[in-house]
Structure 1
Amino acid sequence: MFNQNEIAINSVMFWAVAFAAIALLNMASGVRAKSYLFAGVNLAFLFLLLGKSVVFVPLFVGAVFVVLQSFSIKSAKLATLTISSTILFFMFMVNKLQASVASFTAVGSILAIVGFSFITLRCVEVIRGVFSGQHAAPSLVMLTNYLVPFHMLAAGPIAAYDDFARKPFDDARLTNEDVMQAVEVIARGLFNKFVLCYFIDKIFLSGFRSDGAAFVLETLMFTLWSYLDFSSYSNIALGIGKLAGVTTPVNFRNPLISRNVIDFWDRWHISLSHFVKRNVFMPIQIALMRSRMRPRPLLYASFATTVSFLLVGLWHGIALKWLTWGALHALGLVGVRVYTHFLQKALTPQQMVAYRKNMAIRVVATVVTYVYVAFAFLAVALIGR
């Protein structure tokens, strides 16, 4: 099973593969050549990681390829979608439950490999894109590159299939400025992970065994640590992608200065929030708006948000602590929607502009949002004890 400890950014193997990818892709020209080289790098990385079990990854990618090809047959389209979605969900559940079930067999371990969370979400993305008719089925090589990019396996980001299908590689020649910016992003990720996170952990974190003011401080610092730790992987992936010319989306934009929880999810794990919006929130909201029920946009948006973030919580882990975390974020998002609706009713457009520009209100809102996000993380820690 993939995890961050196995795909470690401090391992020689990871960086050897990264340097090989950067060198090979910069020597190649054209999407076809880059596609084959990148697929080779990705499979080589998986072989180094998994050994002989790597054979099941191409088999899985091949199975997804067959599913995508079958969508061209109208009579089999819906049945194939149902069966493939069921199998994908089963493998995802195996992956999530493996850590808590000691009796998993070798077969269970293999299913856990291909059911890894980020691969699962990419499967959903490509299946949606092809099933809807928005995109033609990708070649086997391109599908490999989309599902198992070595630099995005550990912690994302989840590249949107729409973006990948449109532009899998950046053909622009790297300038010295591009190289320096990419190296700076990687260096920032490494510094955050191995310096800042290390000192925060050693100085402020105790597994929430502190009390009083120290407990409050630990809760706030744990939130900062979580951001620095998580975003470091995304920064490194972004920098490697830039150097190799592989399209890699930005995943974090200073989320801890967010004005509210909606703003937070526009800045935190951006690729996941956009995935949920495309594949869960919008389908639910559109279905409700098209129903014969009385149009109630705020209610429909609130319901879609709640379902979406309960699923986001369970995606992090099949456990009460993550369900609670998802519920708290859903509550925060719905609360912001309701409050914004109230303000729009109570204030004139000019007053609304003045309200948003008021620095004192902005500072208070940012602090409240940070504390709320920290409280959600605290709930995970306390319930998980």
Structure 2
Amino acid sequence: MTPGYDIAVNGLLFWGVAIAAIVILNLCTTQRTKTWAFAAVNLAFLWFLLGATTLAVLGAMGLFYVCLRLAASDREAAFLLTAVGLVLLALFIVNKLQARIDSFATVGKLLSLVGFSFMVLRCIDVLRAVRTKRTPVPKPLDLVNYLAPFHMLAAGPIASFEDHARKPFDFAPLAFERVIQGVELITRGLFNKFVVCYILDKLFFNDFQSTGPAFVLEMLVFTLYSYLDFSAYSMIALGIGYLAGVPTPINFRNPLIGRNLIDFWDRWHISLSNFVKNNVFMPIYITLMRRPGPSRPLFYASIATMVSFVLVGLWHGLSLGWFVWGSLHAVGLVVVRYYGQFLQQKLSPAALASYRKSPAIRVVATVVTYAYVTMAFYPVAVLSQVKQ
């Protein structure tokens, strides 16, 4: 998590803005008033965090809006998209390296506080949607609300722009049941973050200096800690969005019980998985499938998977540890795909169905998956000395 978001969740600023957003947005009854109100809340939050530097953020959004208009009109589109992509890549790299460069302290603070990594992904998603004519160019305030929602600013989830354009607000009345559900989500997130994760930290973590069984136990608990810590932020965002009437994607569905890595990534950081599938995996896969020659869908899917997850690793951090993490997940996903094909070829439909329904196989598969995810965390937790 970025330091700025962690401070916000622990402080009065974030919760003051959250309460104001819930009250104000529930008083608005039209699309127009909700759009203006939510934009005001998001910009106020940025101003409280960044002060006058918020004007620079608005300037960057304005330039990006102009780029969207030009991309939609097809004028110099190829050059424009390349230029925008290079600028986003450069700023993304600065954001990831800023912690190592003291002279970039001011820029680094700005980029980390506004959760630039997630904003880059949102920029890519809206650019793709506009360029492919799936959605029209958003109005300026709609763009602000998509790129900088205060409750999803630094820790996600990454809402799809097509979903946002289709339903930016929920007009369902804030009934008692809805309040209970929203408060429950927020409470569970806070409890996991500040109670459960705190206990796990104090009881099991020793900066990975242990050896033997103690080290293995610390790594296994680290996987659980990472899930509870990260999902807590998403749960808080989901609860606030639920109460404020701002559709917020579900980001986790019990990933640690996944029976294989494909199932795991269908449950872990779901919004990132969907983003990568739509913006990286599918374009590569479709391009390869259109090549002349024999069709090799599984091989092409494997190539797209390798590229996608290496990039996912580098998106988390420009370090050897995250590169190895992404590569391990890529290799694991490819193995799972080929193993699935092997089972389909060797087993009859009835035997395959029995195999998949077997409780014993499910338990073994889940344990193996958890162990593999833990092993993939090794270069991040130990080699890079990063604990999320």
> TM-score of the superposition, structure 1-length normalised?
0.97
Q: For residues 144 and 231 of structure 2, what CA distance do their matches in structure 1 show?
A: 25
Q: Does 1:155 align with 2:145?
A: no
Residue deviations 1:22-44 (CA, integer Å, cap 9, x gap): 00000001111101000000000
Contact 1:3–1:154 under 8 Å retained in 2: no
Q: Does 1:174 align with 2:174?
A: yes
Q: For residues 309 and 263 of structure 1, what CA distance do their matches in structure 2 show?
A: 15
- Cα 1:105–1:181 shift into 2, 3 Å: closer
Look up the match of 1:360. Answer: 360
Deviation at 1:101, TM superposition (A): 1.8
Q: What count of residue pairs does the alignment treat as equivalent?
A: 385
Residue deviations 1:265-294 (CA, integer Å, cap 9, x gap): 000000000000000000000000001132
Q: For residues 212 and 59 of structure 1, what CA distance do their matches in structure 2 show?
A: 54
Q: For residues 323 and 297 of structure 1, what CA distance do their matches in structure 2 show?
A: 26
Deviation at 1:113, TM superposition (A): 6.3
Where 2:365 maps in the other structure, the secondary structure is helix
Larger mean Cα displacement after TM superposition, 373-382 or 336-345: 373-382
Contact 1:159–1:271 under 8 Å retained in 2: yes
Residue deviations 1:164-222 (CA, integer Å, cap 9, x gap): 01001011112211110111111000000011000000001111111111111111111
Q: For residues 151 and 5 of structure 2, what CA distance do their matches in structure 1 show?
A: 14
Deviation at 1:3, TM superposition (A): 3.8
Q: For residues 288 and 247 of structure 1, what CA distance do their matches in structure 2 show?
A: 35
Q: For residues 129 and 58 of structure 1, what CA distance do their matches in structure 2 show?
A: 21
Larger mean Cα displacement after TM superposition, 286-295 or 224-233: 286-295
Residue deviations 1:226-250 (CA, integer Å, cap 9, x gap): 0000000000000000000001000
Once superposed, which parts of structure 1, at least 4 consecutive aligned residues long, lie more than 4 Å away?
4-7, 105-115
Q: Which amino acid aligns with 1:214?
A: A
- Cα 1:221–1:110 shift into 2, 3 Å: closer
- Written as runs of structure 1 = structure 2, the 5 A alignment for 1:231-380 is 231-380=231-380
- Cα 1:184–1:112 shift into 2, 3 Å: closer
Contact 2:259–2:369 under 8 Å retained in 1: yes
Q: For residues 8 and 19 of structure 1, what CA distance do their matches in structure 2 show?
A: 14
- Cα 1:44–1:7 shift into 2, 3 Å: farther
Contact 1:94–1:108 under 8 Å retained in 2: yes
Q: For residues 270 and 96 of structure 1, what CA distance do their matches in structure 2 show?
A: 22
Contact 1:169–1:246 under 8 Å retained in 2: yes
Q: For residues 313 and 77 of structure 1, what CA distance do their matches in structure 2 show?
A: 29
Which consecutive residues of structure 1, in runs of 5 or more, have no partner in the other structure? none
Residue deviations 1:126-165 (CA, integer Å, cap 9, x gap): 0000011111000000000000000001210000111001
Q: For residues 304 and 140 of structure 1, what CA distance do their matches in structure 2 show?
A: 34
Look up the match of 1:193. Answer: 193
Deviation at 1:75, TM superposition (A): 2.9
Deviation at 1:8, TM superposition (A): 2.7
Deviation at 1:115, TM superposition (A): 7.6
Q: Which amino acid aligns with 1:133?
A: K
Contact 1:6–1:49 under 8 Å retained in 2: no
Question: Percent of pairs identical after alignment?
Answer: 58
- Cα 1:294–1:190 shift into 2, 3 Å: same
